Amino acid sequence: MAGDSRDWRALALAGLFLVATASGIAGLLVSLGAENTFTGGHDMAADAVRRYAPMRHLLLSRGIREIGYTSAARTVDLYRGGAFFRAQYALTPEVVWPNIDREYVVGDSISPDALERLKLQVVEDFGDRLLLLRRR
Amino acid sequence: MAVWAAISAALATGIGLALVALLAPPERWAGGRVLRLALALPFGIGVTSAVFFWSLITGISHLAIEAVLVVGLLVGWRMRPPAPGSSAPGGSGPAGSGETLLRHLFLLLAAADAAVFAWWSARFPSGGWDGWAIWNQRARFLYEAGDSWRSAFSPALRWSHTDYPLLVPATVARAWRDLGCETTLVPVLLAAGFAVAVAALLVASLGALRGRAHALAAGALLLATPAFIRYAASQYADVALSYFILATIVLQCLAGGSPAPERWLALAGIAAGLAAWTKSEGLLWVVAAVAAQALILIVATDRKTRLKRIGAFLAGACPFLLTVSYFRRWVVVSWYFLGQNGRPQIGENLRDVHRYRIVTEAFAGQMWRFGSPLLSPVIFLAGYLLLSGIGVAGRHRPGLAAAGLALSLTAAGYYAIYMLTPEDPRWLLETSLDRLCLQLWPGVLFTAALGAGAIGRPDKA
């Protein structure tokens, strides 16, 4: 009887670990799909580094170490701050403030109306909807 | 620069190996060398990251400090009094059919995980969200800002948890400094190294303490946890923290069966200290590990032994706790947890029944949601324990009790943090609970496998 019980348990354990393995591998594949949907298959940080490279070069060459950021509002809503976080990563070692309270400000996909409303003027247009702005 | 990079890597490895050689009693069991390596390399990384931080503070070359340190450790190792060897049982003997199946499944999962890690890292070399927004960003500041490295902790960057300690970013920045260039290969290799170290330490330590079948079972359950490899490839520090939590537990358990327990406990203290130097949650782990150890020792030993053992643990943790204290007192200028949305409303939150419900439901939900978008590995762990039963050997009981208590206290601490935070608990739970559970998961697997009953051929008691 004891031998039967051991055989039964060994068989059940083997089955359990087979299912765990299959589930683990299938779960990995599902995770890959989910991550691709979220990022669009891109390395968002590397894309930002490429996009901000000319601005970063200009800021470092002018000795500017702190800068503001806006895409429309006076302050960035940090709960929806993805684009701002990417800007900070790409512009490091610049310190990017989540508001427009600095002399120079990053204008990320900002509309002409917002520029007028926030009293900002364009210093340099880097293309790809990226502007270096200055407070008027 | 290649020469400096090679020297830098050699120093990190040398410090880890010398530290383990100095403190760990000589092993007399199969897999002892794998266990030493699985301890030495992450310990070397941890120590050199702290040295790099102090080199930023003092302006002294980190390579010079590390060279002195490695020489000092080697001299200490040569001069130390001989310790009786540990006699943890090994996993020798012929493998049963169940063990062979487990080995095949473990290898299959290791291959699948390695392939996914490589694919993920090739596609997203900057890491996942927290990987680049917190850890790699901080590393870029430390490397690129030169003398202005403290700007990494500007109040402007409060959203990126500037109060988080620096084991991961300092390691990455140190490697970039010695290589002379910034490459995503460094954080990718660091993440891979910690993932391999977690699996190797789990399997090697259980192989020594409980036998091969349980070691492979726990290893398979770890590798069958998609979140483990996803967060590793995303370059999150949670995997590194999970390593140091697991190492603390393993070393405390090795102390239980050793004629020289203080040496293992000093190493356990180093592991706990490095946990605190990895992430803020690591500080909670240190408190939980010390409290659990003290409580078990009160029951099991006399006062003198108790003081010696707790003293050894704290002596190991001390250099890293001092580093964290200095970092928090003199470098960090703003705290995200307490500062983002005002002060925590402790009294109000503790009286909020709705908040208890939200947090409790989220914690309970981890039983079937943790770690996988399909079937949670917690379900398989429960099945494994149900089928193998419980069978704790007498000499493992104190270590097992301390580990279980420390893990429970830490989980309770996480619960309290969700209760007290001024942030929206739903948002916080959704974005972090899975990672916090992952920090404890390898330790839970080790504890469960150490306490499980016999499977396959009669294993080590």
Instruction: Please tell me which of the candidates B144, B226, B456 has its beta carbon nearest to residue A27.
Output: B226
What value of ipTM does the predicted structure carry? 0.92
**Strands annotated E in B318-434:** none
The single-letter DSSP state of residue B84 is P
Answer yes or no: do A5 and A49 share one domain: no
Question: Does residue A65 share a domain with residue A109?
Answer: yes
Helices vs strands, H then E, count in chain A: 4, 5
Beta-bridge partners for A122:
A133
Residue A14 shares a structural domain with residue A52: no
Query: Which of A19, A27, A46 has its CB closest to that of B372?
Result: A27
Cβ-defined contact of B124 to A43 (cutoff 8 Å): yes
Question: What is the total count of domains within chain A?
Answer: 2
Chain B CB contacts of A75 under 8 Å are none
Residues in chain A closer than 8 A to B102 (CB atoms)? 17
Average pLDDT across chain B, whole number = 90
List, as one string, the DSSP characters of B395-411: GGHHHHHHHHHHHHHHH
- Read off the pLDDT of residues A49-108 as tens digits, 9 standing for 90 and up: 999 999 999 999 999 999 999 999 999 998 889 999 999 999 999 999 999 999 999 999
Same domain, A50 and A23: no
**What's the burial of A63, exposed, middle or buried (CB within 10 Å: 0-12/13-18/19+)?**
exposed
Sorted by sequence, the CB contacts under 8 Å of residue B84 that are 6+ apart come out as B25, B259, B260
Q: Is residue A122 part of a domain?
A: yes
pTM of the model: 0.94
Q: Which residues 35-74 of B are in CB contact (within 8 Å) with A?
A: none
Instruction: Please give, rounded to a whole number of angstroms, the shortest distance from the CA of B427 to a CA of chain A.
Output: 10
A27: in domain: yes
The C-alpha atoms of residue B335 and residue B338 are separated, in whole angstroms, by: 6
Share of chain B above pLDDT 70, in %: 92
Residue A55 in contact with residue A130, Cβ under 8 Å? yes
R_g over Cα of chain A: 25
- pLDDT bin (cut points 50, 70, 90) of residue B130 is very high
Q: What is the pLDDT of residues A9-35, one digit of tens each?
A: 888 999 999 999 999 999 999 988 776
B157/A79 CB distance under 8 A? no
A120: closest CA of chain B, how far (Å): 21
User: Does B128 contact A at CB distance below 8 Å?
Assistant: yes
3-class SS of residue B402: helix
Q: Which of A43, A66, A92 faces B137 most closely, judged by CB atoms? A: A92
Same domain, A14 and A81: no
Contact A17 B225 (CB under 8 A): no
Show which residues on chain A lie within 8 Å of chain B, measured between beta carbons: 9-10, 12-14, 16-21, 23-28, 30-32, 34-35, 39, 41, 43-46, 49, 65-66, 78-79, 81, 85, 88-89, 92-93, 95-98
Same domain, A78 and A113: yes
**A39, A93, A98: residue with CB nearest B144:** A93
Helices (H) and strands (E) in chain B, counts: 20, 0
Residue bearing tokens 């279980």: B404
Tokens linked to B245: 């939590």
Nearest to B148 among A16, A31, A93 (CB): A93
Question: Do B125 and A27 lie within an 8 Å CB cutoff?
Answer: no
Looking at the fold, whether A70 and A126 belong to one and the same domain comes out as yes
| pLDDT > 90? residue B228 | yes
Q: What is the pLDDT of residues B75-125, one digit of tens each?
A: 998 888 776 665 555 444 455 667 899 999 999 999 999 999 999 999 999
Instruction: Kindly indicate the confidence band of residue B299, based on its pLDDT and cuts at 50, 70 and 90.
Output: confident
Q: How many CB atoms lie within 10 A of CB A30?
A: 13
User: Is there a domain that residue A39 lies in?
Assistant: no
Identify whether residues A80 and A130 lie together within a single domain.
yes
Interface test with A, best of B157, B216, B426 (most A CBs within 10 A): B157
d(CA B123, nearest CA chain A) in Å: 7
Residue A57 domain flag: yes
Question: Of how many residues is chain B composed?
Answer: 461
The verdict on B230 touching A (C-beta cutoff 8 Å) is yes
Residues A80 and A128 in one domain: yes
B351 or B207, which is more confident: B207
Whole-number Cα distances in Å, B50 to B18, B170, B219: 17, 8, 30
Q: Of A72-81, B13-22, B88-97, B217-226, which range is least confident?
A: B88-97
Identify the residue among A5, A6, A7, A21 best suited for mutation to test binding to B, counting B beta carbons within 10 A and taking the highest. A21
Reported confidence tier of residue B454, pLDDT bands at 50, 70, 90? confident
Interchain contact, B109 vs A23, CB within 8 Å: no
Distance from B394 to chain A by nearest Cα, in Å? 23
Range(s) of the domain holding residue A50: 44-135
Please tell me whether residues A50 and A12 are part of one structural domain: no
Domain membership flag for residue A65: yes
User: Same domain, yes or no, for A11 and A59?
Assistant: no
Radius of gyration of chain B (CA): 21
Q: What is the pLDDT of residues B137-193, one digit of tens each?
A: 999 999 999 899 999 999 999 999 999 999 999 999 999 999 999 999 999 999 999
Looking at the structure, tell me whether residues A71 and A113 fall in a common domain.
yes
